[in-house]
Amino acid sequence: MSELQVGVRLGLEGFTLEVDFAVAARGVIALFGPSGAGKTTILRCIAGLVRARGGRVAFDGESWQDDAQRLFVPSHERGCGYVFQEASLFSHLSVRGNLEFGYRRVPAEARRVAFEQAVELLGIASLLARRPANLSGGERQRVAIARALLASPRLLLMDEPLASVDSARKGEILYYIERLRDDLRMPIVYVSHALDEVLRLADSVVEVADGRVTAVGTVHETIGKHAGATVLDAVVADQDLASGLARLRFGGGELYTSDLDALPGERVRVRISARDVALALSRPRDASFLNVLEGTVTALGEGSGASIDIQLDVSGTPFLAQITRKSATALAIAPGRTVYALIKAVAIDRHSVGYA
């Protein structure tokens, strides 16, 4: 299996970065953590823009930096595309000129992405004749992503690409990044401190804090605990337009959700807040809950104050519920007990769903 391996140590003024991790090089790899944690520095080490002492960086079996062997592959030979926080387009060139700048420098036989393909994937055909000054922030960033793609990288690096985009355009950009992930099958390393972005996009997560890696795993294993939520990958089974509901299938069963912009057969990622999950000891009758999932209690969290987290297994899918301690005592909730998770369909809407 292709891997991205990073082991670097770098001392900066008042800050030391010391990380060592390996992660499968597929889908979106999120470098996630608070501002100042060292995420961008890690990305720059991967790109070869920063050389850390005692460093080791390898991608897909190819060493890019190995100080033990006195090896350091320069940035331009690593085959990385880099998308910065700011689009940094050439102001004197049209959108087409910006895209062609890097594209023409890649030999035809080495091109991984066709010009028309990048334009279509990012939805920028109508922008080709315009200058950067006449683009919105979201449009500029889409052009910047397309420009990085047309350099035909093996690995796409994105440094908080939504940081300079207004909130109204963020969902639009996330949609296009999802298209890149799914259509091109190009590994993406995505730096972000925004939980919602990582939940929606990431396949795997490297959590970083104070210059150290604190966790590595799938988005379900690592980020769900921060969000106090269950993260599920599902497929749209069908939509009931008359009632405004969609039916999703996932490993543990089916869920009804509020209507969402996805066609039957499309993959989506659902986030269900633990606070929106009630528990019962028997399948309820004459209740308004459309989603009733049978599961087994696997663990009880420590909780805080009046509430406690309950971890469930729903046909092999981990699930999280948060109820009051009083309710947990009254129901005698304990590991091994069979329970029913009750979730309102209206608690899962288009704002808690991303394309998986």
Domain-wise residue ranges, the chain: 3-227, 229-355
Report pTM: 0.84
Alpha-helical segments (H) within 39-136: 39-47, 95-103, 115-122
229-355 CATH? 2.40.50.100
Q: How far apart are CA 312 and CA 328, in angstroms?
A: 13
Q: How far apart are CA 243 and CA 259, in angstroms?
A: 9
Q: How far apart are CA 233 and CA 231, in angstroms?
A: 7
> Both tokens of residue 181?
């992930």
Please report, in tens digits, the pLDDT of each residue of the chain (356 residues total).
789 999 999 988 788 999 999 999 999 999 999 999 999 999 999 999 999 887 899 999 999 999 989 999 999 999 999 998 887 899 999 999 999 988 988 888 888 899 999 999 999 999 999 999 999 888 999 999 999 999 999 999 999 998 878 777 788 888 889 888 888 889 999 999 988 889 889 999 999 999 999 999 998 888 777 778 898 889 999 988 888 899 999 988 999 998 777 788 888 888 899 999 999 999 999 999 999 999 999 999 876 689 999 999 999 999 999 999 999 999 999 999 999 999 999 998 766 666 65
Q: 3-227 has which fold?
A: Rossmann fold (3.40.50)
Residue 304 DSSP one-character state: B
Q: How far apart are CA 302 and CA 239, in angstroms?
A: 39
333-to-235, 252, 319 alpha-carbon distances in Å = 31, 21, 15
What pLDDT does residue 344 have? 95
* Contact indicator for 246, 255 with CB cutoff of 8 Å: no
Q: SS3 for 195?
A: helix
